[in-house]
Amino acid sequence: MADDKSGVGTQLRGWDAATFRTASANPNLRSTVIALAVLDRAPDWERLHARLNRLTLFVPVLRKRPLYGATGFSAPRLAVDPDFDLDVHVRRYRLPVDAGWEGLLADARRMSLTDFDHNRPLWEAVLIEGLPGDQSAFLLKLHHSIADGAATVQIAMSLFEFSGQANPAEPVPPPAPESEDVSVTDVTIANLTDNLKWGTEQAVNSIRGALGLVRGTMTEPTQTWSRVWNTVSSIGRFTSVSDGPMSPVLAGRGTTYRFAAFNLPFAALRGAAKSRELSVNDAFLAALAGGFDIYHRRHGVVVDELRINVPISLRGDPGDRTGQASNAVSIARFPFPIAGLSVGERMTAAHDLISNWRAEPALRLADPLAEVSWLVPVPMLAQAAQSSDVTASNVPGPPIPLYLAGAKMLAAYPLVATIGAAVNVTLVTYDGTAYVGISADDRAVKDLSDLVEDLRAGFAEVVGDQVGPRDQYAAPSA
């Protein structure tokens, strides 16, 4: 999101705007993130309600609604909703008797597949009671245009507490932000002003770049044109769609998907990576490669490579937006080898591929390139989004126990929409455990239980026989 001086909120820009546009125009690219927290008991409702209200004061984007101009060719603005009502976004209910974990995932699926009210703040939360053992679940649903995985963790850290008791020393939240009614004319003028300002900045930057190119050509022609060529080539690699074959098994795309989840000890995953002097993300991708290799062989097919998307966080880079609940990522897209490799070879392949992508100059041009997407019809963007088999994301979470309104969080599962891929697999770490959330397109994966079993086997190849039960929550003792 880009701040402006117009007095009419902030305009979504770059990746955030592109995410909102594609998700709004094509149901195949529905863009929701659900954080599912399993709690050892039902939290105190009044205290939870107060904490959610407090959260919206610390994270003001949760009080902002989209505003639209008259032209329809500008990203929406986010401005404080003058009619913000917490109770519109928060509810609670009890699962039917014997619904259990499967019933919880089914409700999470319905929640994810239900679109947002695009005239209100883009989030909702629900407390679900009635899980086995008097446990409960808290689900926080966010639109991907206002939060990536890391931002979702940051939001959760503002909501959860470090003990079951209220902490009177917690920071006092700021007052509620002021709001005002604005007309479509006001929004249109503000959008035009922002777009003109942005266009002017781009023109100025282009002129500066051209002058720099001229100076470089006269003083260091070889190095200058080498940098230009490297950047242009990098942009080509960043925006191109692989011409390799897609999975013949993960075929078909629709507008619905289903969820599954399991867990494993984080120390085992980290140890497997450390023993080879590699990263947790390398071990995670190697486990997925093994699992998808097993799944394809189950279907009588050996596939050498899968097309994979891997979000790469830019938080900590110059110009990042860690202070906002928005996206600060770029997407690496590449063919990933899955067949005929040992666990170590898969880890090394993952390490090399990600390292090469991190070195790409275009990686940090994600927002400017996303701005250009406004010139591309959504059907073409959807076709590109659906040209990958798998999206895989690894998000570090809090390493210590957290509490929500008196209830201890036992588990934290990430449930992310497929957003065009056949399967999305996201891993979040919490309090010594790695939690794996899976979403699978209903047309692409007709045997989700088999896929989960094979992914569990892929992780078992990496960490040993320590992977939690399929589609069943197995929490550490409370």
**DSSP of 265-309, one letter per residue?**
EHHHHHHHHHTTT--HHHHHHHHHHHHHHHHHHHTT---SEEEEE
Average pLDDT of the chain is 85
Read off the pLDDT band of 460 (50, 70, 90). very high
Q: How far apart are CA 478 and CA 474, in angstroms?
A: 11
Q: How far apart are CA 201 and CA 1, in angstroms?
A: 16
pLDDT in tens, 45-88: 999 999 999 999 999 999 999 998 887 667 788 999 999 999 99
Q: Are strands 329-337 and 305-313 parallel, antiparallel or unpaired?
A: antiparallel
* Cα-based angle 178, 180, 183 (whole degrees, multiple of 5): 155
Name which of 375, 2, 6 is nearest 201 in CA terms. Answer: 2
- What pLDDT, on the 0 to 100 scale, is given for residue 199? 77
Buried b (16+ CB within 10 A) or exposed e, 45-72: eeebbebbebbbbebbbbbbbbbbbeee
Give the contacts of 443 (CB within 8 A, at least 6 positions apart).
251, 252, 253, 254
Mean pLDDT for the stretch of residues 427-439? 96
As given in the structure block, the two tokens for residue 466 are 């320590």
pLDDT in tens, 197-242: 877 877 787 787 777 777 878 888 887 777 777 777 766 766 666 6
- What pLDDT, on the 0 to 100 scale, is given for residue 14? 78
As given in the structure block, the two tokens for residue 136 are 């409960």
Q: What are phi and psi of 126, to 5 degrees?
A: -145, 140
